């Protein structure tokens, strides 16, 4: 019986090709594993490539590294990452979202390549091959754009003895520039597509999902807006609210499952407690629980995400970095 289990373990490890490291696990490896002089990030990368595995990070991970305030640590983390992780970034959240839509929002997706061609992708590959090449966004622009992104944390929650989501009953309060009548109409159309009588929690999920799709897919608020704009404007120029109506009519499944739904789930999870500044980044990372073979983290939010969505088989991919035994396989 032990022999069978060992064979199964080997088979599982042989099938693991893409291992995703979100930002907290990168910091953990830097501080607690590869700080040991006996361990070499360059040798480890070479070994993993020989095994046919990709230890990958994303442009979201890089962005968070670039946000590190201490300049020396920021540079050290960048150098460490390009020595350890694969020479291509995993596809950006926007690339994955658009590909999911173009594939018809399937319940189960077929295999396809996930090497990014978007933000930082070309520079990252070059930096991995040329050790003298270093890149990072302009600090002022980086901080300004990050504030632009983090407003979503304020958008989705409000302070009232803690943090609360805007429920489906509060869609009128979303924005003065967006018609509450229009959003309520879109919500009602999605609700009619829901199988069975929706509970209050399920109605709130649909409401938050509606807003997530509006912000990320329709307004293009994220790291990779060109990918969003290219998708929408291939045939004709469209406005954000027109895009939302098209999404509800043409591919409504994105509101209930897939990468955008994962973002919604993470936002709802974090809104149960005091929301941190990294909520939006965590929400984007959550997409990769579906698209990686393993998802390595040192963040309790993802471990709670795993527990609260235990019916989703992808949640078994989420592994605490503390539970890994490095260099034994």
What's the average model confidence in pLDDT over 153-168? 52
b/e sequence 130-167, b meaning 16+ C-beta within 10 Å? eeeeeeebeeeeeeeebeeeeebbebbbeeeeebebbe
3-class SS of residue 152? helix
By CB neighbour count within 10 A (0-12 exposed, 13-18 middle, 19+ buried), where does 310 fall?
exposed
Is the distance from CB of 104 to CB of 237 less than 8 angstroms?
A: no
Cα-only R_g, the chain: 20
**Rounded distance between C-alpha atoms, residue 216 and residue 233, angstroms:** 15
For 161-184, how does the pLDDT look when each residue is reduced to its tens digit (9 = 90+)?
343 456 677 776 665 556 667 888
Would you place residue 324 in the very low, low, confident or very high pLDDT band (cuts 50, 70, 90)? Answer: confident
**HSE on the CB side for 54, CA within 13 Å?**
18
**Is the confidence at residue 81, as pLDDT, over 80?**
yes
Closest among 166, 168, 148, 179 to 245, alpha carbons compared: 179
Q: Which helix (H) or strand (E) is 44 found in, with range?
A: helix 41-50
What's the average model confidence in pLDDT over 251-256? 96
What's the average model confidence in pLDDT over 261-275? 81
Is the distance from CB of 183 to CB of 171 less than 8 angstroms?
A: yes
For residue 192, which phi and psi values (nearest 5 degrees)? -70, -25
What would the two tokens of residue 301 be?
């939010």
| pLDDT attached to residue 106 | 92
**Is the confidence at residue 144, as pLDDT, over 90?**
no
Is the distance from CB of 96 to CB of 56 less than 8 angstroms?
A: no
For 190-211, how does the pLDDT look when each residue is reduced to its tens digit (9 = 90+)?
999 876 788 888 998 999 899 8
| pLDDT attached to residue 285 | 95
Q: Which of 145-149, 153-157, 283-287 has the lowest mean pLDDT?
A: 153-157
| pLDDT attached to residue 196 | 73
**Rounded distance between C-alpha atoms, residue 177 and residue 163, angstroms:** 24
What's the average model confidence in pLDDT over 246-262? 95
Helices 259-270 and 93-102 sit at what angle, rounded to 10 degrees?
Answer: 130
What is the number of residues in the chain? 329
**Rounded distance between C-alpha atoms, residue 258 and residue 191, angstroms:** 18
**Rounded distance between C-alpha atoms, residue 261 and residue 96, angstroms:** 13
| pLDDT attached to residue 83 | 95
Closest among 6, 112, 54, 28 to 294, alpha carbons compared: 54
Would you place residue 96 in the very low, low, confident or very high pLDDT band (cuts 50, 70, 90)? Answer: very high
CA-to-CA separations, 44 to 14, 71, 85, in angstroms, rounded: 17, 26, 9
Give the chain's mean pLDDT. Answer: 84
| pLDDT attached to residue 50 | 92
Closest among 156, 183, 193, 287 to 244, alpha carbons compared: 183
């Amino acid at each position: 019986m032990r022999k069978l289990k060992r064979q199964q373990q080997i088979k599982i490890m042989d099938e693991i090709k893409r291992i995703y490291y979100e930002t907290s696990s990168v910091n953990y490896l830097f501080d607690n594993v590869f700080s040991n002089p006996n361990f070499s990030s360059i040798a480890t990368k070479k070994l993993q490539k020989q095994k046919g595995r990709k230890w990958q990070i994303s442009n979201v991970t890089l962005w968070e590294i670039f946000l590190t305030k201490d300049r020396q640590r920021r540079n050290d983390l960048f150098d460490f990452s390009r020595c350890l992780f694969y020479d291509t970034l995993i596809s950006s959240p926007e690339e994955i979202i658009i590909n999911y839509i173009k594939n018809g929002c399937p319940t189960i997706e077929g295999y396809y390549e996930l090497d990014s061609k978007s933000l930082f992708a070309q520079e990252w590959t070059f930096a991995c091959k040329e050790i003298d090449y270093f890149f990072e966004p302009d600090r002022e622009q980086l901080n300004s754009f990050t504030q632009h992104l983090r407003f979503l944390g304020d958008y989705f929650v409000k302070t009232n003895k803690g943090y609360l989501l805007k429920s489906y009953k509060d869609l009128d309060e979303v924005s003065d520039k967006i018609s509450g009548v229009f959003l309520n109409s879109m919500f009602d159309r999605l609700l009619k597509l829901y199988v069975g009588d929706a509970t209050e929690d399920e109605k709130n999920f649909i409401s938050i999902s509606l807003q997530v799709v509006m912000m990320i897919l329709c307004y293009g608020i994220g790291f990779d807006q060109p990918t969003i704009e290219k998708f929408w404007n291939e045939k004709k120029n469209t406005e954000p609210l027109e895009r939302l109506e098209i999404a509800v009519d043409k591919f409504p499944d994105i509101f209930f499952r897939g990468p955008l739904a994962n973002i919604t789930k993470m936002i709802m999870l974090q809104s149960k407690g005091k929301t941190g500044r990294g909520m939006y980044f965590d929400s984007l990372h959550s997409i990769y629980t579906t698209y990686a073979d393993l998802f390595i983290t040192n963040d309790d939010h993802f471990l709670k995400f795993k527990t609260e969505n235990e019916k989703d088989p992808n949640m078994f991919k989420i592994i605490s970095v503390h539970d890994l035994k490095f260099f034994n396989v």
